Amino acid sequence: MTLRLHNTLTGNKEEFVPLEKDQVRMYTCGPTVWNYAHVGNLRAFLFYDLVRRHLQVSGYSVTHVMNLTDIDDRILDQAMHAGMTIDEYVKPYVEAFFEDMATLRAQRVEAYPRATEHIPEMVDMISTLIENGNAYIADGDVYFRITSFPKYGELSHLDRAGLKAGARVATDKYEKESVSDFALWKRSQPGDEGLGASWDAPFGKGRPGWHIECSAMSKRYLGETLDIHAGGVDLMFPHHENEIAQSEAANHKQFARVWLHSEHLADATGEKMSKSAGGFTTLRDLVAAGHDPLAIRLFLIANAHYRSRVRLSPEALHAAAEQVRRLREFADRVDRTAPAREEHAALAERTAEVRVSYRDALDDDLNLPFGLGLVFDHVREANAALDAERVGPLNKASLRALLGDVDAHLDVINAEEPGLAEEVERLIAERESARKARDFARADRIREDLKARGIALEDSKDGVRWRRISA
């Protein structure tokens, strides 16, 4: 099977064909760094990671760009209240974003451009839009004239009937009911200069709107036409609609060939999680409540298909933790079991089939939950064969290959246990004090316990070092 993706633009599942053979240019909307990312945002970010990983598995070289919105209405408000510049205000949240991504084992992407570092590109694009008659200046702000772009609304299937020509909206986020000419540039307000949020432009001192940054930065890093543009479903209108209008009106080229949208994460009542509804949960909150980041990762990418809503609950996270544990235990068991002399022919055949079916599930619009279900069924079957000591060397190799396929997406099986390094260091210190107290039985027991967990201690003149031992 070839890779098929559900393209929001056409409403169909389509065979994926990039513009340039074997190369994929992908742009994904990143965080607004006004606060810690909430788990709903993290679901979208890990969805991007899943797309990226599966493209790589499929043999593509991926250039993936994810922006950081470090200027918007909320950041200005918060920085003003905190008495800081916007740079100072966003700094800890930028750091927290990268920490969260590392904790959740999202691969680093090729570029994370920041809006405030690309103002000239935005000013250029706005100038072009004004020259082309797609934008106009009103009271020092610059607005995109949506009646100048007949395709406006195609992505989100907007009914243009109620569209009022010339009505303007200055806020970055608004509902479909108030579809209007939207701001590309907002003139400087008193205080903006002090916040470090005011730039010179031919059309007057000001700062960019939210939407123009993605159009300008994607062009700067990936060119005029993207193979894939992805985002959370809440960005489809108006943000992505506005990105299309700006980019296509300025470049006269199709902006993105495939649009992918991941669904909301719902809270326990099934509603979309949002700060205003009090459902604002961060990764830090979940980890502090005792949840394993690997379980959170698995839950967010594999509990439901990316186009379905998924409900966050402690039970669901415990179930995901159990899945992580089962996969890791199984991988460990396959590694450690001494091979039987004979191969298990039926098992070999089934393992090969499951590898193909797993790959097919991912090729079918990234259906990881379905693929993973097949793998868990097979783990049961293989465990029974291991119990009966009927697994040969080739059986072991093919089971390892299947787990390798799965972990190319999940990245939880071979992941270091969170907190492992600290725990080992603590046990090493305990062993040292036991030896100093001449309690050699206890010191040996600590060493043996660690060995059973696949960790070897080496005494050297610089102290005790530890390393993983493979079976």
Residues in contact with 57: Cβ distance below 8 Å, sequence separation at least 6, in sequence order: 362, 405, 408, 409
Tell me the window of 130-138, 212-220, 400-408, 430-438 that interacts with Zn ion (CB under 5 A). 212-220
Contact indicator for 70, 112 with CB cutoff of 8 Å: no
> What's the min distance (Å) between Cβ of 274 and Zn ion?
18
Contact call for residue 427 and Zn ion (CB under 5 A)? no
Q: Contact with Zn ion (CB under 5 A): which of 3, 29, 33, 375?
A: 29
Site map for Zn ion, 338-377, x if CB under 5 A?
----------------------------------------
Give the tokens for residue 315. Answer: 């039970």
Measured distance CA(209)–CA(335) in Å, rounded: 54
φ/ψ (deg, to 5) at 225: -120, 125
Q: How far is the CB of 147 from Zn ion (least distance, A)?
A: 23
Q: How far apart are CA 54 and CA 306, in angstroms?
A: 14
Distance CA 240, CA 150 (A): 16
Interface stretch with Zn ion, choices 26-34, 253-261, 274-282, 321-329 (CB under 5 A): 26-34
- Which of 212, 214, 366, 455 touches Zn ion by CB under 5 A? 214
279: helix, strand or coil? coil
Question: Which CB contacts under 8 angstroms, 24+ apart, belong to 10-14?
Answer: 13/364, 13/365, 14/258
Nearer to Zn ion, 129 or 302 (CB): 129
Least separation in angstroms between CB 65 and Zn ion: 11
Judged by CB under 5 A, the stretch of 208-216, 297-305, 314-322, 367-375 that binds Zn ion is 208-216
Q: Which is nearer to Zn ion, 29 or 62 (CB)?
A: 29
User: Closest separation between CB of residue 41 and Zn ion, Å?
Assistant: 13
Query: Residue 238: is the preceding peptide bond cis (ω within 30°)?
Result: yes
In angstroms, the CA 410 to CA 403 distance is 10
Pairing of strands 135-138, 141-144: antiparallel
Closer residue to Zn ion (CB): 68 or 321: 68
Give, as ranges, the residues between 68 and 107 that touch Zn ion (CB under 5 A). Answer: none
Question: Residue with CB nearest Zn ion?
Answer: 214
Pick the closer one to Zn ion by CB: 85 or 251.
251
- CB-CB contact of 434 with 419 (8 Å): no
The interface with Zn ion within residues 294-323 (CB under 5 A) comprises: none
Q: Hey, how many other C-beta atoms are within 10 angstroms of the C-beta on 326?
A: 14
Restricted to residues 127-166, the positions that interact with Zn ion (CB under 5 A) are: none
Tell me which residues touch Zn ion (CB under 5 A): 29, 214
